[in-house]
Amino acid sequence: MKGKTLFVSGGTRGIGKAIVYAFAEKGCDVAFTYATKADTAKEIIADIESKYGIKARAYALNILEPETYKNVYEEFDKDFERLDFFISNAIISGRAVVGGFGPFMRLKPKGLNNIYIATVAAFVLGAQEAVKRMEKTGGGSIISMSSTGNLVYTPNYAGHGTNKAAVETMVRYAAAELGEKNIRVNAVSGGPIDTDALKAFPNYEEVKREVVRRSPLSRMGEPEDLTGACLFLCGNESSWLTGQTIVIDGGTTFQ
């Protein structure tokens, strides 16, 4: 990982933050985006640069305006000479998903469209800009974070689950077309991970109990549980692996 650069969307908390630290620990320079927490981003940059001796930068991005990825990458180009890995991780929650997070009969177009924009469109536009940089260095690895909400029924999750299925399909299409550029594209699908986003669910305690009950490992997933797959997919060990989804769910999808 030394001498290489990662760009991950949504890097100030949860899974994104865990990915930032995991790659930095391996000697990889890291760039990440944040929505509003500029101070948190600065704290993370200072921490990982002092701990691991790598270069880190952060950029503001509204994931509901993915066309602005172009502007973010222009800033990235001022700070970094190369891009090797792109991980699409940022998600939306709160008021933006009203009408998209809820029972089937309460779903509304605006909430559903917002989830699509933040999940599928943001992956496409972020990856397109990444490809332009990866071509200059002879290839790279692109990952979309996903979730098992498209495999296992999860109350109120229809809007998110269907869009996770959509982004996994988009991953396969991207992999089929970008292979000639030596760019691999895969997805990492996590079971319910104990993050702030999950804790925002009104039925969080119920979900947690059910996950612990279903998992043969008898625990919730943690953000760090997903970083190993991301490192693997960006390493030489996975050089012939593309167009796939790696499921990390503590065994819950089998129960």
Position 57: which residue type? R
Q: Go through 200-217 and write b for each residue having 16 or more CB atoms within 10 A of its CB, e for each that does not.
A: ebeeeeebbebbeebbee
Active centre residues (catalytic) = 157, 164
